[in-house]
Amino acid sequence: MSTLDRIKSVFQTSSTLLGGDVQADRVVPPSGFTSTLTLFTSAAMAFLAVFALALSLATGRLADRWASELAQSSTVRISAPAEELDLQTRAAQEVLRTTPGVARSRILSDEEQRLLLEPWFGPDLPVEDLPIPRLIEVVEDADGIDAEGLRQRLAAEAPGAFLDDHTRWRKPLVEAAARLRLLGWVALALIAASTAAMITLAARAALAATSQEIRVTRLVGATDVYIARAFVRRFTLRSLIGATAGMVVGTLAILLLPSASEEGGFLTGLGFQGWHWLWPLVIPPLSALVAFIATRQAALRMLKEVT
Amino acid sequence: MIELENVAYSYGGGDLLNDISLRLQPGSFHFLTGPSGAGKSTFLKLCYMELIASTGSVQVFGQDARAMERDQIALARRRIGVVHQDCQFLNHLSVAENIALPLTVAGRDVNSEMQNLTDLITWVGLKNQQNSLPPQLSGGERQRAALARAVIMGPDVILADEPTGNVDWEMSQRLLSLLIELNRMGKAVLVATHDLNLIRTAKNQISARVLRIKDRRLQLAGADL
């Protein structure tokens, strides 16, 4: 079968499924409470899926930002007796100036150092009277620096200089963000599995409640696929409708969250950005697909018990 | 068409039928008699594969029933019209929709066969009840609807389990006439019944074999019939 034929076949199957067969659909009696159960389950799961998706994408962004921003900067800290501090600072700057991968470097002013220490010591700290290390901010270019090589050169030229390339605390932060992102995907997988389980139960309940009608239909010549299709179509459409409603409500809830701000930190950034707002649109078709597979499996398995 | 050879059927450790052999050929007409519980319904179920024989061979349209896939069984059933003793309808569908059910499940366009459907409904005298639901029908009306459903596909074989059990004499004659007419068209007909008058009437019109299940075995009925 050519690719074109396959596409045609998939399209025909989908259109048959969604378009329905009024006569065939009427053969299966209304399935009562399972209809409400399927709609509610799909809506609730889609609502949760929107949040899991938002969490996953937000932590992904956070991990990427931390990784890229922190990876391109480092700090040289110079601790030396007061009379040697300027000398070692100049030597360290010279080393940095001639180090490949360093885009620029600058000494933090007393005011900037005071601001850095302000959260701990208050605004009136006399920085100039304290033996506080001198700090040099280093910004790397795209190629980055050879941290170990730079450390060795600094040790030779300015023994009081220490390079902090942020690896020590950047790594756990990025790992934590990556774990959160993974948890988001795991939550999505669990939501899909729960949806499948609930719809399977609903489908089995509907099949059990209509076992007599199924038996009669079999006896007049219906194939298993014919009977299963009526159930599959019904549950797939219900799941699609329920998930669409849940997705719309979930997306609105995300939209109404406070917008991202420095003060709010990570939580206010828990939303979608740019084209990521299109991601929730994937949830209803996926929910319908899960319902399709779950109902088909349940129906065909149960029908084998009918002679 | 349907051939049983040395068939036995056991259930719950006991034999219900034993050493049954019969061949339903095109144009044949068989009556099956026997007391209640003798196994007449079981025999019919073996023929349309609702039950599978414990031992022996059941061939349906040239295929071994035991080896048939479920879809093959479904397709074979479209060639077998069955009138069940308890009729068995879909209660959420109208009488007309129930009669048309074999067409529907076979994927045939019911609208294009509407004239045949209407003629059949009229013939069995259910024109006024065609839009009713099955629970609203009397016992006789249910039997007539079941017969109409059994023949709407123009089956090769017709199996009827007590088709005149709930109908008056006049209607039983009409049902018999329809079965005879179908038989003359070359269909194989097997009627399980304990209505001896029906059998006698039929034998005046056609050449029918009368079988009896006795002691779990199939025998030719005696001269009393």
Q: What is the pLDDT of residue B102?
A: 93
How does pLDDT run across B164-208, given as a tens digit for each residue?
877 788 878 888 888 898 899 889 999 999 888 888 888 888 888
Task: Identify the residue whose tokens are 């007539």.
Answer: B144
Is the CB of A216 less than 8 angstroms away from the CB of B88?
Answer: yes
Q: Does B110 touch chain A (CB under 8 A)?
A: yes
Evaluate whether A202 touches A34 at the Cβ level (below 8 Å): yes
How does pLDDT run across B31-72, given as a tens digit for each residue?
999 888 888 889 999 999 999 989 999 999 999 999 999 999
Q: What is the pLDDT of residue B220?
A: 81
Question: What is the rounded average pLDDT of the residues A125-147?
Answer: 82
Is the CB of B105 less than 8 angstroms away from the CB of A224?
Answer: no
Question: How close B25 comes to chain A (CA, Å)?
Answer: 21
Task: Identify the residue whose tokens are 């620029």.
Answer: A104
Domain spans of chain A? Answer: 16-67+171-303, 80-159
Is the CB of B70 less than 8 angstroms away from the CB of A224?
Answer: yes
Question: Are β-strands B29-33 and B2-11 bridged in parallel, bridged antiparallel, or unpaired?
Answer: unpaired
Confidence of residue A21 (pLDDT cuts 50, 70, 90): low
Spell A111-126 as b/e; 16+ CB within 10 A means b.
eebbeeeeeeeeeebe
Q: Which of B48, B61, B105 to mutate to test the interface with A (most CBs of A within 10 A)?
A: B105
Q: Does B206 touch chain A (CB under 8 A)?
A: no
Confidence of residue A15 (pLDDT cuts 50, 70, 90): low
What is the CA B15 to chain-centroid distance, rounded? 23
Domain spans of chain B? Answer: 2-220
Give the three-state DSSP class for B177. Answer: helix
Domain B2-220, second-level architecture: 3-Layer(aba) Sandwich (3.40)
Question: How close B44 comes to chain A (CA, Å)?
Answer: 12
Alpha carbon distance B5, B23 (integer Å) = 8
Is the CB of B105 less than 8 angstroms away from the CB of A213?
Answer: no
Contacts of B89 in chain A (CB under 8 A): 216
Q: What is the pLDDT of residue A209?
A: 86
Contacts of A215 in chain B (CB under 8 A): 88
CA closest to A218 among chain B residues: B74
Contacts of B84 in chain A (CB under 8 A): 219
CA closest to A303 among chain B residues: B70
Question: Are β-strands B55-60 and B29-33 bridged in parallel, bridged antiparallel, or unpaired?
Answer: unpaired
**Among A30, A221, A225, beta carbon nearest to B102:** A221
Q: What is the largest CA-CA distance in chain A?
A: 103
Query: Average pLDDT of chain A?
Result: 83
* pTM score above 0.80: no
Residue A10 has pLDDT above 60, yes or no: no
DSSP chain A: --HHHHHHHHHHHHHHHHH--HHHHHHSPP-THHHHHHHHHHHHHHHHHHHHHHHHHHHHHHHHHHHHHHHTEEEEEE---HHHHHHHHHHHHHHHHTSTTEEEEEEPPHHHHHHHHHHHH-TT--GGGS-PPEEEEEEE-TT---HHHHHHHHHHH-TTEEEE-SHHHHHHHHHHHHHHHHHHHHHHHHHHHHHHHHHHHHHHHHHHHTHHHHHHHHHTT--HHHHHHHHHHHHHHHHHHHHHHHHHHHHHHHHTSPPP-TTTTTGGG-S--GGGGGGGGGHHHHHHHHHHHHHHHHHHHHHTT--
Q: What is the pLDDT of residue B157?
A: 94
Q: What is the pLDDT of residue A263?
A: 53
Alpha carbon distance B106, B153 (integer Å) = 9
Is the CB of A221 less than 8 angstroms away from the CB of B92?
Answer: no
Residue A245 has pLDDT above 90, yes or no: yes
Alpha carbon distance A67, A61 (integer Å) = 10
More confidently predicted of B113 and A278:
A278
Is the CB of A27 less than 8 angstroms away from the CB of B105?
Answer: yes
Question: How close A292 comes to chain B (CA, Å)?
Answer: 21
Query: Average pLDDT of chain B?
Result: 88
Alpha carbon distance A227, A207 (integer Å) = 10
How does pLDDT run across A172-222, given as a tens digit for each residue?
877 888 888 888 889 999 999 998 899 888 888 888 888 888 889 999 999
Alpha carbon distance B213, B4 (integer Å) = 14
Contacts of B142 in chain A (CB under 8 A): none
Q: What is the pLDDT of residue B103?
A: 92
Q: Tell me, what's the ipTM?
A: 0.87
Q: What is the pLDDT of residue B14?
A: 82
Alpha carbon distance A289, B133 (integer Å) = 36
More confidently predicted of B180 and B14:
B180
Least confident of A60-74, A283-297, B161-175: A60-74
Give the three-state DSSP class for B109. Answer: coil
Alpha carbon distance B197, B212 (integer Å) = 15
Residues with Cβ within 8 Å of residue B31, at least 6 apart in sequence = B190, B191, B192, B193, B199, B202, B208, B209, B210, B211, B221, B225
CA closest to B108 among chain A residues: A23
Question: What is the rounded average pLDDT of the residues A71-76?
Answer: 82
Is the CB of B101 less than 8 angstroms away from the CB of A26?
Answer: no
Kindly report the backbone phi and psi dihedral angles of residue A108, in degrees, each rounded to the nearest multiple of 5, phi listed first: -70, 135
CA closest to A304 among chain B residues: B70
Residue A284 has pLDDT above 80, yes or no: yes
Residue B224 has pLDDT above 80, yes or no: no
Question: What is the rounded average pLDDT of the residues A105-109?
Answer: 89
CA distance to A48, A166, B86, B172, per residue, from A70 (Å): 32, 7, 80, 93
Residue A66 has pLDDT above 80, yes or no: no
Q: Does B105 touch chain A (CB under 8 A)?
A: yes
Q: Which of A16, A220, A301, A305 to mutate to test the interface with B (most CBs of B within 10 A)?
A: A220
Q: What is the pLDDT of residue A13?
A: 53
Query: How wide is the angle at C-alpha B181 spanned by C-alphas B175 and B184, nearest 5°?
Result: 145
Evaluate whether A27 touches A212 at the Cβ level (below 8 Å): no
Contacts of B82 in chain A (CB under 8 A): 219-220
More confidently predicted of B168 and B159:
B159
Q: What is the pLDDT of residue B164?
A: 83
Provide the sign of the torsion angle of the four alpha carbons B209, B213, B218, B224, taken in this order: negative
Strand partners, A77: A135, A162
Question: How close B74 comes to chain A (CA, Å)?
Answer: 4
Question: What is the rounded average pLDDT of the residues A265-284?
Answer: 80
Query: Both tokens of residue B126?
Result: 């259910």
Q: What is the pLDDT of residue A243?
A: 95
Is the CB of A27 less than 8 angstroms away from the CB of B48?
Answer: no
The count of CB pairs under 8 A between chains A and B is: 67
Q: What is the pLDDT of residue A20?
A: 58
